[in-house]
Chain A
């Protein structure tokens, strides 16, 4: 798709028009599912388990049923449907046993939310509390309680995943490249360490919310705050064994997703309540507390890396073991394990590599996709490790990284050969190193240290990620011309804040040669109006839907030229067009307007030709393959987006408090379709990455009660947490098969913020950090080489008052 790109002639691509739906969002006019009320609509509430693991002896709903205004009550006993993206392991409501704190065991739909809440309080559940397994490493031990004793009987995607019945292992992914033991034998140094991070919450500002209406004859409509309408429809129909034509999924504006709204979540439960309530629409919106405990989170990770290095600093062998904490259900975590497995070495060439990556069930809220899809978590360990290796062998960390970076001709872990068009990680790394004056303190920084008594340190980290998606992922776009010559672009890709509608409008305007005002991309997504798109995930939307948009526009123009050629009695090859009309190249005064032919051309006598102009574009990922289950070899990557961060930090060497003075980030985006949108992704993702780096994380007590399901106890960054200076740098190594050379950058800014910070703190104050988030007390402990205290599954016997009331 690059052939059409001549940077000088681009009129829309490369510019930064305002967001298409910005005015609606700025005036309060944009409607989110949480704003919607339908005629006759009921409100739902769920009863959550106060225990991490318990057998459900009985559920008594009789008191709730007597409450006036209650229209439907469901428990696990009423529903025999299991859900699962890759491993079908989750009931809509817990049956028999609860597997995590906050799991839904019953649900009520009532005339008002207040009645529904009251009814839920009147449901009595008799539990036999059982000892949970909370730490994923403990769950691997022989004799550990099994979260899913029936794992061997579950359906799963057999071509890709490998559950291990009789254990808590939901999946194991392997990668074998070269001969790792031979590599270690050739190594002058072998350096090994373990890195960890806890589960975190996505925190979309709009919590999960769905409205469903299950009418007679299984006619079902679902309005949902979700990322992927076609996936919701597909998984829904799979669970209920319904034809796709019975279910319509509509997605209006979405208040943030970040991966947490990929897949399917509340929709089946809400639909079942509607069915039970005689087809009245039912709405359920998670409270913020439920968002933490009922809805999924991001998996915790333990990452062990053992690296063999030659005396000259070249890595020759690396053995990697990843232990991912799925929580109670496999959901996306098994695929996070797979996608992280094939990326696990970062943008470095490792001739001999060995990787085992496990997804492990525990009795905790379950993990799902989260911006970065595993890469935020494992890059914490990887880029801290690269720093450790460089320091251990006495090499400058920047030089060490440069020496080992992937370059054209190098092969990735899965055997893919990198080319000069794959993107330039070296350029990204050098750009951020220059931006922070890496490796030295400037005169001003020295003076600042002298003045404040604080230590200034600098750190760098690289990143890469490819879309994690099936190798045959496809999409389609329809461009329909209105009778005034403007166009409506139907895409199944959902606008969740990333700016895709604006960027796609720019791409369409560019390909059509139209003014941007004449192009509109559909805002609300509707499975009955929009063409199929696999999912709005993986940073693949710009490339796949962008290409399909270009093809659809070309198709529309071809049809327009055919009609215009007839009207003008000219061959299409002699025609050209501008934003309003098609004309004969050598007789530009002979023209027909797009408006004249948009819905069919009429001659003076009334005869008509042509018809409504509709262009269709289809694009499917090409040349990709499943990975071999034993060796991990294959071609999984649509494209690689590379990047790097450089951070300057100021550390109080007495207390461990620190402050970020500057962060510089660079990404090879191929081509910035809208540089301001790119900057929005870069800064927004970086600050979300800072949340992971600074403070965020789930804290449990020993019984598995989640202790901090609120913004008071689980803080996210505010504008006061911004670094003093932020610099965004764009590298543009064209992606040959990307729209105008572009590749995705939605997830990448979040990756490797934490290790860049950890490396900077290490260089400032000597703190060797192996766990993120990095709190001041962690820095203080690491500086004093005091043992880390386990505060994520805390040894405090009783945590907040919440667990005292609910749990004991």
Chain B
């Protein structure tokens, strides 16, 4: 069936299979492979995108459900080749290791900071608990969010004994 969606400000009109997920549509039909599949069951958050202002696991949303919606993905986060404040903070704080969870993580942060311009550490944890990261141990991600929202964050260098 035919759907019409706006992705990162651009309009797309495509025929999609009724059983295709939004993630499949983004990755396989549009070639927007920034969003990743980590589990296919809505458990890990690697496929997180923003659908009409709210984060969703795009592996759990059918593409047809997104008809008429506005979607934001990682590909829209940097503008004209310039990183967003969130991306810059992630880079600065070493909040990326293998990078596979990063797209979903950044989208969850994006939605979080639009709801809470100055999120507390507890709010950050609440906002990101649906995004698994097996590499970083999350601490540098939390520090990046604090920094991106202009809040005090610890100095990172490990202490010497």
Contacts and interface: CB of A to CB of B under 8 A. Distances in A.
Contacts of A496: 98
Given A18-B94, A427-B161, A722-B139, A716 B132 contact: yes
Interface string B119-161: 0000011101111111111111110000000000000111111
Nearest to B19: A114
Contacts of A499: 94, 97
A675 interface: yes
Nearest to A31: B33
Contacts of A538: none
Given A255-B99, A719-B128, A729 B92 contact: no
Q: Quick one: which of B34, B126, B130 has the most chain A CB within 10 A? A: B34
Q: Quick one: which of B35, B94, B101 has the most chain A CB within 10 A? A: B94
B58 interface: no
Contacts of A712: 41, 43
Question: Which 9 residue pairs are nearest across A and B when measured between Cβ atoms?
Answer: A28-B34, A25-B99, A255-B100, A497-B98, A687-B137, A497-B97, A683-B137, A431-B161, A711-B43
Interface in B91-119: 91-94, 96-103, 106
B27 interface: yes
Given A675-B157, A729-B158, A26 B83 contact: yes
A26 B98 contact: no
Contacts of B90: 22, 26
Contacts of B159: 727-730
Nearest to B133: A205
A742 interface: no
B87 A27 contact: yes
A314 to B, nearest CB: 26
B100 A722 contact: no
Interface string B49-83: 00000000000000000000000011101100001
A21 B102 CA distance: 13
Nearest to B73: A28
A255 B36 contact: yes
Nearest to A683: B137
Given A206-B98, A288-B39, A711-B43, 16 more contacts: A26-B77, A26-B99, A26-B106, A27-B74, A29-B34, A497-B97, A679-B94, A679-B156, A682-B158, A684-B136, A718-B128, A718-B130, A726-B137, A727-B159, A729-B159, A730-B158
Contacts of A22: 90-91, 96
Interface string A690-732: 0000000000000000000011100010111010001111111
Contact of B160 (A21, A202, A718, A731): A731
A30 interface: yes
Nearest to A688: B134
A403 B67 CA distance: 69
A676 B156 contact: yes
Contacts of B160: 729-732
A34 B36 contact: yes
Nearest to B127: A719
A32 interface: yes
Contact of B134 (A21, A256, A683): A256
A207 B38 CA distance: 7
Given A22-B90, A730-B159, A710 B41 contact: yes
Contact of A28 (B33, B40, B142, B156): B33
A719 B92 CA distance: 20
A685 interface: yes
A566 interface: no
Contacts of A30: 99
Q: Quick one: which of B27, B139, B159 has the most chain A CB within 10 A? A: B139
Contact of A256 (B103, B124, B135, B142): B135
A497 B136 CA distance: 9
Nearest to B74: A28
A672 to B, nearest CB: 7
B75 A19 contact: no
Given A25-B102, A672-B158, A729-B158, A687 B94 contact: no
Contact of A253 (B41, B99, B103, B129): B99
A476 to B, nearest CB: 25
Q: Quick one: which of B83, B103, B140, B159 has the most chain A CB within 10 A? A: B159
Q: Quick one: which of B32, B99, B129 has the most chain A CB within 10 A? A: B99
B22 interface: no
B143 to A, nearest CB: 10
Is the interface on chain A under 10, 10 to 19, 20 to 34, or 35 or more residues? 35 or more
Nearest to A202: B134
Contacts of B141: 719
Interface in A23-78: 23-32, 34-35
A517 to B, nearest CB: 15
Given A497-B99, A684-B97, A710-B39, A676 B125 contact: no
Nearest to B34: A28
5 contacts: A19-B97, A26-B87, A255-B36, A427-B161, A712-B43
A205 B87 contact: no
A25 B96 contact: yes
Given A34-B36, A729-B159, A27 B137 contact: no
Contacts of B41: 288, 710-712
Q: Quick one: which of B40, B102, B106, B126 has the most chain A CB within 10 A? A: B102
A23 B91 contact: yes
Given A680-B140, A688-B137, A710 B43 contact: yes
A718 B132 contact: yes
A16 interface: yes
B1 to A, nearest CB: 17
A544 interface: no
Contacts of B39: 288, 710-711
A430 B161 CA distance: 9
Nearest to B35: A28
A332 B116 CA distance: 47
A497 B135 contact: yes
B44 interface: yes
A682 B34 CA distance: 27
B161 A256 contact: no
B97 to A, nearest CB: 4
A737 B102 CA distance: 36
A666 B93 CA distance: 20
Contact of B83 (A27, A31, A728): A27
A16 B100 contact: no
A619 interface: no
Given A23-B83, A25-B102, A677 B94 contact: yes
Contacts of A18: 91-92, 94
A287 interface: yes
Interface string B17-32: 0000000000100001
B137 A685 contact: yes
B127 to A, nearest CB: 9
Nearest to B128: A719
